[in-house]
Structure 1
């Protein structure tokens, strides 16, 4: 690492997006040295402590530790830039000057503006706003956009999906795990499998350890509430999180098997759904 060059960290759970942003930054800011790439918020904090970059580009919504939570731990020690796919309403809180944000897909002109602001801040550091309060405000905006309905919902029964606005996909599922009631983030789910009158939720915790739970909601009802860009049906009884897929191997008779990042089991892809994976 060259001490005379500004340094940066990029954190995003999508490998292609990490590489894409790194490529765009190399073009927009050739002097910037990207010293670390992180796959999630927890890894972002670890690599920040290791490399102490000047700038952190953090995806807002990552499994386990989110970009906002990672930013809380990094605090004032770096310039923070959030990268988000959320719409304009959800990022109102960013527009205070102390923090910056980029919308996905990142546009060259918008990135150039961000780079110019970062260069100015690094040349002449100025007093920064209360980062903790600002991050709380950002988290509040995102929470309202993603999971809060317009009016307070009636509390759902045990083992049923947490309430979500009709216009937004499901983000959390309430499920019984042992003697406790667990609120499972949808992004942490690896797959869902129909189990007679129940649905098995296969997910992983912050450490990547696999876990399972049963809910009383039929698979077809859950599928209707999930983000169609993130979850796909691979079999009449199986729905998989596309972000959880390591790779897909094709089999005989126009079938395939899905291999997961966090679990050893392989999921079937029937002939009816093979077209979803022809490009993988």
Structure 2
């Protein structure tokens, strides 16, 4: 553990939960120094950029921005200690020395284990790795039965089969669904889609999710990026984002 206490931000939409955790953390003044609290994900993003905390205690299920969407908005992710009431969805990944997972209501004895983990903590996880762990959490939480996506066309609803979708691309507030036949605009965010889509869909850029079944060729590009060509009618080529390097390499098993 470092010599000075970890500057700490508590993020939870429930005031009693924030108050309880704040009180418990006072039992470990040599480990935690609470600098502020945030009552929702949007406020948390602002305070993280402003205060640059060492540690955040993060509620996973929040209105507006959930834990997954909040972390996606950060350039650099602090040490994350997740808090949730959903014990049936707990993951072994949260029980490592890198990420901890606390079941609500948080208890003093369990918090002591977190303190012990921090004493040997080495922050060597990339932001992309942390996001992958949280994505896995959501995958286990909801069985993926999504086989189509709904698109509004005037007063009608059109159902597009997912196996016809080549990729999704975000542009400001809308997301475009690309198929070999036509394109459609939807109002779901990429983060929402990523939590629901089957495993053959992979995010390769902050604004792009591809259907891996349509990948025709992958070429290495400079700056730890890849150029991915799709086997669609337009032979679309997409340059991946640097932060998705590990995800793509893991998929290609290289």
2:77 touches 2:127 (CA, 8 Å); kept in 1?
A: no
Match of 1:30 in 2: 29
Instruction: For residues 120-144 of structure 1, give each alpha carbon's deviation from its aligned partner in whole angstroms, at most 9, with x where no partner exists.
Output: 43xxxx3512331332232233134
Q: Give the Cα–Cα distance (whole angstroms) in 2 for the partners of residues 25 and 112 of structure 1.
A: 10
Deviation of 1:181 after TM superposition, in Å, equals 6.0
Match of 1:137 in 2: 133
2:18 touches 2:37 (CA, 8 Å); kept in 1?
A: yes
Q: How many residues align?
A: 158
Which runs of 5 or more structure 1 residues have no equivalent in the other structure?
A: 161-179, 185-280
CA separation of 1:88 and 1:76: change in aligned 2, threshold 3 A: farther
1:45 touches 1:73 (CA, 8 Å); kept in 2?
A: yes
What TM-score comes out, normalization by structure 1 length?
A: 0.48
Q: Give the Cα–Cα distance (whole angstroms) in 1 for the partners of residues 4 and 44 of structure 2.
A: 23
Deviation of 1:84 after TM superposition, in Å, equals 1.2
> Counterpart of 1:118 in 2: which secondary structure?
helix
Deviation of 1:8 after TM superposition, in Å, equals 0.3
> Counterpart of 1:61 in 2: which secondary structure?
coil
Match of 2:48 in 1: 48
> Counterpart of 1:13 in 2: which secondary structure?
coil
Q: Give the Cα–Cα distance (whole angstroms) in 1 for the partners of residues 101 and 23 of structure 2.
A: 18
1:100 touches 1:114 (CA, 8 Å); kept in 2?
A: yes
RMSD: 3.2
2:97 touches 2:120 (CA, 8 Å); kept in 1?
A: no
Q: Give the Cα–Cα distance (whole angstroms) in 1 for the partners of residues 115 and 54 of structure 2.
A: 13
2:9 touches 2:34 (CA, 8 Å); kept in 1?
A: yes
Instruction: For residues 24-72 of structure 1, give each alpha carbon's deviation from its aligned partner in whole angstroms, at most 9, with x where no partner exists.
Output: 1112x12322111001112111111111111111101111222223234
Deviation of 1:148 after TM superposition, in Å, equals 2.5
> Counterpart of 2:106 in 1: which secondary structure?
coil
1:83 touches 1:101 (CA, 8 Å); kept in 2?
A: yes
Match of 2:124 in 1: 128
Which runs of 5 or more structure 2 residues have no equivalent in the other structure?
A: 158-184, 190-254
Deviation of 1:23 after TM superposition, in Å, equals 0.7
> Counterpart of 2:138 in 1: which secondary structure?
helix
